[in-house]
Amino acid sequence: MKKQEVIICRNLSEDLSQAISNNPHDKLFLLVDEHTSTLCKPLIDNLPCMQGAIEIKIGAEDVHKTLETLAYVWKSLSDQGATRHSLMINLGGGMVTDLGGFAASTFKRGISYINIPTTLLAMVDASVGGKTGINFNGLKNEIGVFSPAESVLIDAEFLKSLDSANLLSGYAEMLKHGLISTTAHWAELLNFDMNRIDYKALQALVAQSVQIKENIVEQDPFEKGIRKALNLGHTVGHAFESLALETNRPVLHGYAVAWGMVCELYFSHLKVGFPKDKLRQTIQFIKEHYGVMTFDCKQYDRLYEFMTHDKKNNAGIINFTLLGEIGDIRINQSATKEEIFEMLDFYREAMGC
């Protein structure tokens, strides 16, 4: 898989203009959703490099990450004369960059695209690393391809219109990148003041975070080995997310991942010796910032069932990524049902629920 160019913007106008001119094209398309059309498009709309861009607007949020929306984007491209030499810019959160990346990668067997992520989650995770796709048949990201953007432009200016829950959701993936990299970066993340955000400092942390993901994706673009490090917190996190959805109290992805990390760091401590003090400090940070998802022991079986259906599993064995230390990544770890139930007991006790 080719490497995409990640640009940490100093001047969005100049950086975007450069990225567009690096990709000669006949027509320029701009994919936005209902939110980014009003909140984010004004930041790029009047730039000379965007003159003549044809806008395609789709519904916002995960509920629109569907085959129908994808077909609408394909049809819009087709009706408005897109060719194999056209260029698409995806301006939005992970839904827009995932679906837009998939639409571009499949239209006429693939046209070039640029991502401009507008949420923290998309900046540090979804828009980088080449995973594109849509939800299908009730399953998240069931259909898609690995196909990197030509460029990803990251500008913390967009984060100023983001609410604090969505900022924290993205920050959980940054915390994950801290845990799988170095103690210094992890400590920096725990000490950053999320209540009074210094956006310049946040952009610097985002740059480090993206670099960590980039390094891993470069070693293993198709997730055969070390890319599974990026799944830390996600085996339990996805189960929490599914349970929350099923019980009509949906949670943001990053919140579920944060709570999932509490569980998987506990396993890390138990099984491969992750230090107790770092476990305690990380749990403290998560409790303070993300609160707690409550459930009782009658729901353990359902959570276990969700874990058994995770697409990361192999031969029916639930797959975990654990840590022996910060940065000491142990992929392909497993656990018994009893251990998983004990882990859920630990979570409830540690989080006070």
Q: Which residues here bind ligand GLY, judged by CB under 6 A?
A: 125, 129, 131, 223, 227, 230
Distance CA 95, CA 41 (A): 16
Instruction: Report the residue number whose CB is nearest to ligand GLY.
Output: 230
Nearer to ligand GLY, 125 or 155 (CB): 125
Distance CA 139, CA 94 (A): 16
Tokens of 37: 């059309």
- Closest approach, Cβ 253 to ligand GLY, in A, equals 10
Distance CA 163, CA 145 (A): 30
Name the amino acid, one letter, at 350.
Answer: A
C-beta of residue 95 within 8 angstroms of C-beta of residue 125: no
- Closest approach, Cβ 229 to ligand GLY, in A, equals 9
Nearer to ligand GLY, 107 or 133 (CB): 133
- Closest approach, Cβ 173 to ligand GLY, in A, equals 8
- Closest approach, Cβ 4 to ligand GLY, in A, equals 12
Q: In the chain, which ranges are continuous DSSP H helix?
A: 12-21, 34-39, 42-45, 67-79, 94-106, 120-121, 164-179, 183-191, 199-219, 234-246, 253-272, 276-290, 300-308, 337-351
- Judge residue 3's burial from the number of C-beta atoms within 10 Å of its C-beta, 0-12 exposed, 13-18 middle, 19 or more buried: exposed
Distance CA 90, CA 110 (A): 15
Nearer to ligand GLY, 140 or 348 (CB): 140
- Closest approach, Cβ 344 to ligand GLY, in A, equals 24
Taking the CA of residue 127 as centre, how many other CA atoms within 13 Å lie in the half-sphere pointing to its CB?
33
- Closest approach, Cβ 230 to ligand GLY, in A, equals 4
Nearer to ligand GLY, 56 or 124 (CB): 124
Distance CA 350, CA 353 (A): 8
Distance CA 95, CA 82 (A): 22
CA distances from 168 to 117, 172, 266 (A): 16, 6, 22
DSSP 350: H
- Closest approach, Cβ 41 to ligand GLY, in A, equals 26
The total of other beta-carbon atoms located within 10 Å of residue 247's CB is: 11
Strand partners, 90: 31, 115
- Closest approach, Cβ 320 to ligand GLY, in A, equals 15
